[in-house]
Chains A and B, each alone.
Chain A
Amino acid sequence: MENIENVVEMNNITKIFGNFTANEDINFHVRKGEIHALLGENGAGKSTLMNMLGGVFEPTSGEIKVRGEKVVIDSPDKADELGIGMVHQHFMLVDKFTVTENIMLGREEHNAGYIDTKTAEKRIEELSNRYGLSVDPRAKVEDITVGMQQRTEILKALYKGSEILILDEPTAVLTPQEIEELMNIIRALAAEGRSIIIITHKLDEIKAVADRCTVIRRGKKTGTVNVADTTQQQLADMMVGRAVNFNVEKGPSHPGDVILDVKDLVVEDHRGLNAVDGTSLQIRSGEILGLAGIDGNGQSEFVQALSGMMPVKSGTIHLKGKNVTNMTPREITESGYAHIPEDRHLHGLILDMSLEKNMVLQTYYKEPFSKNGFMQDKEIKDYALRLIDEFDVRMSSEENPARDLSGGNQQKAIIAREIDRDPDLLVAAQPTRGLDVGAIEFIHKRLVEQRDKGKAVLLMSFELDEILDVSDRIAVMYEGKIMAVVDAKETNENELGLLMAGSSLEDTDSKKYEREEKMTDESN
């Protein structure tokens, strides 16, 4: 009986790459019309499993049944035929083409040699309206938002008539609002009898939308659970394999001397507008200052100016009393500055260079890593191995390119490198973006550890939870200005949310008061 309702059955699936077992004896069943989450840490083997369903890889052993029939999915085309559509994490769209052209790509409808976009456009519009996707079929992909690009990918799958939709980390690139819209779309699709598989490591999203959840840890299945009967804590424990501590454990801070002193900083963005517009900020040793704000309010530019990557138009930056305004990145680094950059692929690592060389990216020119202009390979290797061991960076060989590491391990490598230089100021920009709970826990611990060692820490993040959990003080940035600096213990998400939207502290105080009143009214 069960076979009938399972639209996809993957039985005893094993996938081996060389001598690495990515999936081991996994059973994964999806029912018709359900939203099934696939949860696991970075590198646990979720994407590998789904790529076998999408025709990218073939299993080493095991069988796949679609609608009760045993199938061999040896190409993405075959997956299409079986009604399996995959929306990849990195979109496969041609920027210069319109939405319609992208969707038609590969299956152009033509009329006497001419591509018939009109008919396709109409169908896409219908689909878009039916599921509330609100995508303009005539817009060029380069002109639409990331959220719309993702919906274009979903449309592509629907246009092909996919009954089974695989979404690989669909919310990683979306704003909270777009995530909410996506969830509604997913619900609508499932209500129509389509089966949705979401690959994710975000627990709240699973709770919000999924019916069942299968958890994978290090290539093996931990179990499949009904989401309604399971708490987030239970899911997290299943995924990581031990009890995860969501709360950042930290004692009270003991702020010391001012380490970073920024006065009236103005930084122009690439368009010549003041992205940072007269910001003043101080961070003392032994404290974590959270920099909160909605993306695009000057936080990135602020951090880039601190690190010397963007020129300062006016104002000053002092690091430990030394004026480092408009110094080069190297001079600033040597003054005691360490930085976990926002984009680890673009700025943090040289992906095609070996991990060991990446570990000395800022220090290679100093002894013992080089002498008289020559690199000292042995010292570099010993050093890298020590950091890899201390920070539990998991990889097969330190000589392999950094590209081979999973996201969490890449970030661990960067943090190891930055912390080990023993800086006075550690700036962490979005340090946990895209990471799973295990890695997030690790990174938060390290940040607090640095604070307790008497370092000054600046944590810039768009995640309010993270800011609230980790910081001692919180500065909120809005349109390039600091709206307020508040004590983390005395504020809450609502107050921060209002500050982030541009209200001043006085406004939020009165609003907070009103809200509290309202809340007491409701509870009565």
Chain B
Amino acid sequence: MNQIKSKSFLETAAVPFFSILFGFILGAIVMLAFGYNPLAAYEALFVGVFTNRYFFGEALVQATVLTFTGLAFAVASRAGFFNIGVAGQFLFGWLASVTFALAFPSIPRILMVPLVLGVGMIAGSFYAGIAGFLRAYFGTSEVIVTIMLNHTMLLISNYMTNFVIGSGSKTGFVGDNTSLSVKFLSDLTNGSRLNIGFILAIIFVILYKIFMDHTVRGFELQAVGLNAEAARYAGMSAKRNIIVSMLISGGVAGIGGAIQGIGTFKYLFTQSSIPSQGFDGIAVALLGMGNPYGIFASSFLFGILKQGATFMPSQAGVPNELVDVVIASIIFFVGASYIIRILMKKFGFSKD
């Protein structure tokens, strides 16, 4: 944090900027290689989203969820843990909120909305807490545990969807008493699924900032993340901080899942694989360099990419699979930002 602070904003922003630029270039090369016109494809991507309020709203819907999963990953990573289980915690938040909403269709909305979001949060917290507890008391790797828990949740969720709370491959719709829609957001975006979750995402970005920079607990988490031994010497409890950071991380992912469940879809369906929002959240957190505003900006970008990509097949003839390749190249360069730092140094963009 302080390292980042001591650099200029331009230097800090340069790495994600070049990651994105190189990602687009690589995507273009791939498209060229297969005989598609990258310019037309990128035009379709951006014009589609930015000229139509409905699709812009839908891009923000995607961004909302990614902000939550990105923040979730970032909290744990600040404390030194690699919570690769954001996807599983997100899915549990989704499952729990839909289950709860289906069970209580008659609680008034003013009570139900906070309740259902709370249920999602608790579910995510609980699920991440398993990994945190095992790490704190048995030294088990949180990476391996959360990967396994991702798969476990995929199977649990599909079982529940098919046999317990739903039938066939999906559940019924949740009642209107859980609706997150607000009129002015829907009106603003021509009736897109954009909902109050978006406002919540902004609030969580600010909360994250306050938590990390100004609270005692946030200070402890960072101290443990930067040097666990020195933190222990200073009287901080490593065990407590592991568990706390995982509970917060999972809780944030769980709220994201609840917003996906009752805000975006209003039901739960059989997942063919672990929800991509989990891993995209990791990319978002990396691209945002752990900074909450950066995370918000990169989830916005990802939202646009995901939404805009849907126009690429129809308007530029680029097949869906290739669209995924383009997005993957951008994520690849985000992950490879280390290489970009070296390149920047070599060409004199950066002093250190």
In the bound complex, residues from chain A placing their C-beta under 8 Å from that of B351 are: 18
Interface 9-residue window, one of A127-135, A373-381, A475-483: A373-381
A330 to B217, CA, bound (A): 16
Find out whether the CB atom of A364 lies under 8 angstroms from the CB atom of B216: yes
In the bound complex, residues from chain B placing their C-beta under 8 Å from that of A347 are: 229-230, 233
Residue A399 is within 8 A (CB to CB) of chain B in the complex: yes
Residue B232 is within 8 A (CB to CB) of chain A in the complex: yes
In the bound complex, residues from chain A placing their C-beta under 8 Å from that of B232 are: 309, 329
Chain A min CB distance to B205 (Å): 18
Interface 9-residue window, one of B124-132, B219-227, B244-252: B219-227
Chain B min CB distance to A421 (Å): 12
Find out whether the CB atom of A373 lies under 8 angstroms from the CB atom of B229: no
A519 to B317, CA, bound (A): 99
Interface 9-residue window, one of A54-62, A316-324, A351-359: A351-359
B3 interface neighbour in A370, A377, A401, Cβ under 8 Å: A401
Find out whether the CB atom of B234 lies under 8 angstroms from the CB atom of A401: no
A348-B233 contact in complex given A353-B222, A370-B216, A374-B216, C-beta closer than 8 Å: yes
A373 interface neighbour in B2, B6, B215, B233, Cβ under 8 Å: B215
A353 interface neighbour in B6, B215, B223, B236, Cβ under 8 Å: B223
**Interface flags, A253-295, vs B, CB<8A=1, else 0:** 0000000000000000000000000000000000000000000
A329 to B235, CA, bound (A): 5
Chain B min CB distance to A372 (Å): 9
Residue A333 is within 8 A (CB to CB) of chain B in the complex: yes
A329 to B6, CA, bound (A): 32
Find out whether the CB atom of A329 lies under 8 angstroms from the CB atom of B214: no
Find out whether the CB atom of B226 lies under 8 angstroms from the CB atom of A361: no
B216 interface neighbour in A334, A339, A361, A375, Cβ under 8 Å: A375
A351-B227 contact in complex given A364-B219, A377-B214, A401-B3, C-beta closer than 8 Å: yes
In the bound complex, residues from chain A placing their C-beta under 8 Å from that of B5 are: 399
In the bound complex, residues from chain B placing their C-beta under 8 Å from that of A351 are: 226-227
Find out whether the CB atom of B233 lies under 8 angstroms from the CB atom of A309: yes
CB within 8 Å of A: which of B303-352? 351
A329 interface neighbour in B219, B223, B227, B233, Cβ under 8 Å: B233
Residue A442 is within 8 A (CB to CB) of chain B in the complex: no
A348 to B227, CA, bound (A): 10
Find out whether the CB atom of A339 lies under 8 angstroms from the CB atom of B227: no
Find out whether the CB atom of B237 lies under 8 angstroms from the CB atom of A361: no
B2 interface neighbour in A329, A330, A346, A352, Cβ under 8 Å: A352
Residue B231 is within 8 A (CB to CB) of chain A in the complex: yes
Residue A383 is within 8 A (CB to CB) of chain B in the complex: no
In the bound complex, residues from chain B placing their C-beta under 8 Å from that of A353 are: 2, 222-223, 226-227
**Interface flags, B1-14, vs A, CB<8A=1, else 0:** 01101100000000
Find out whether the CB atom of A361 lies under 8 angstroms from the CB atom of B230: yes
A328 to B235, CA, bound (A): 7
Interface size class of A (residues with CB under 8 A): 20 to 34
Interface size class of B (residues with CB under 8 A): 20 to 34
A352 interface neighbour in B215, B219, B226, Cβ under 8 Å: B226
Chain A min CB distance to B298 (Å): 23
**Interface flags, A432-462, vs B, CB<8A=1, else 0:** 0000000000000000000000000000000
Question: Closest residue to A364 on the B side, CB-wise?
Answer: B219
Residue A100 is within 8 A (CB to CB) of chain B in the complex: no
In the bound complex, residues from chain A placing their C-beta under 8 Å from that of B6 are: 399-401
Pick the most buried of B3, B5, B6, B216: most chain A CB atoms within 10 A of its CB: B216
A330 to B239, CA, bound (A): 14
Chain A min CB distance to B107 (Å): 32
A374 to B207, CA, bound (A): 13
Interface of B is mostly: helix
A373-B231 contact in complex given A352-B2, A352-B3, A400-B2, C-beta closer than 8 Å: no
CB within 8 Å of A: which of B133-175? none
Chain B min CB distance to A342 (Å): 11
Find out whether the CB atom of A341 lies under 8 angstroms from the CB atom of B233: yes
Residue A365 is within 8 A (CB to CB) of chain B in the complex: yes
In the bound complex, residues from chain B placing their C-beta under 8 Å from that of A374 are: 214-216
Question: Closest residue to A18 on the B side, CB-wise?
Answer: B351
Question: Closest residue to B6 on the A side, CB-wise?
Answer: A400
A400 to B4, CA, bound (A): 10
In the bound complex, residues from chain A placing their C-beta under 8 Å from that of B226 are: 350-353
CB within 8 Å of A: which of B89-135? none
A240 to B116, CA, bound (A): 68
In the bound complex, residues from chain A placing their C-beta under 8 Å from that of B2 are: 352-354, 357, 399-401
Chain B min CB distance to A171 (Å): 26
A373-B216 contact in complex given A329-B233, A349-B230, A350-B223, C-beta closer than 8 Å: yes
Find out whether the CB atom of A329 lies under 8 angstroms from the CB atom of B229: no
Find out whether the CB atom of B216 lies under 8 angstroms from the CB atom of A365: yes
Find out whether the CB atom of B217 lies under 8 angstroms from the CB atom of A346: no
Residue A362 is within 8 A (CB to CB) of chain B in the complex: yes
A328 to B233, CA, bound (A): 9
A264 to B217, CA, bound (A): 38
A362 interface neighbour in B214, B215, B229, B234, Cβ under 8 Å: B234
A361-B214 contact in complex given A348-B230, A352-B2, C-beta closer than 8 Å: no
B223 interface neighbour in A361, A377, A401, Cβ under 8 Å: A361
A199 to B242, CA, bound (A): 43
**Interface flags, A146-181, vs B, CB<8A=1, else 0:** 000000000000000000000000000000000000
Residue A307 is within 8 A (CB to CB) of chain B in the complex: yes
Question: Closest residue to B210 on the A side, CB-wise?
Answer: A374
Chain A min CB distance to B348 (Å): 14
A370 to B214, CA, bound (A): 9
In the bound complex, residues from chain B placing their C-beta under 8 Å from that of A370 are: 216
In the bound complex, residues from chain A placing their C-beta under 8 Å from that of B237 are: 328, 330
A195 to B3, CA, bound (A): 40
Chain A min CB distance to B291 (Å): 15
B219 interface neighbour in A341, A375, A400, Cβ under 8 Å: A375
A375-B214 contact in complex given A353-B223, A399-B5, A400-B6, C-beta closer than 8 Å: yes
Question: Closest residue to A380 on the B side, CB-wise?
Answer: B219
Find out whether the CB atom of A350 lies under 8 angstroms from the CB atom of B227: yes
Chain B min CB distance to A112 (Å): 34
Question: Closest residue to A369 on the B side, CB-wise?
Answer: B216
B231 interface neighbour in A339, A350, A375, Cβ under 8 Å: A350
In the bound complex, residues from chain A placing their C-beta under 8 Å from that of B3 are: 352, 401
Find out whether the CB atom of B230 lies under 8 angstroms from the CB atom of A375: no
A357 interface neighbour in B215, B219, B229, Cβ under 8 Å: B219
Given contacts A350-B227, A399-B6, 19 further A-B contacts (CB under 8 A): A307-B233, A309-B233, A328-B237, A329-B232, A329-B235, A346-B227, A349-B230, A350-B223, A350-B230, A352-B227, A353-B2, A353-B223, A353-B226, A364-B219, A365-B216, A370-B216, A375-B215, A375-B216, A399-B2
Between-chain CB contacts (< 8 Å), 18 pairs = A329-B235, A334-B235, A346-B229, A347-B230, A348-B230, A348-B233, A350-B223, A352-B227, A354-B2, A357-B219, A361-B223, A362-B235, A370-B216, A373-B215, A374-B216, A375-B215, A399-B2, A401-B2
Partner-A contacts on B (CB < 8 A): 2-3, 5-6, 213-217, 219, 222-223, 226-227, 229-237, 351
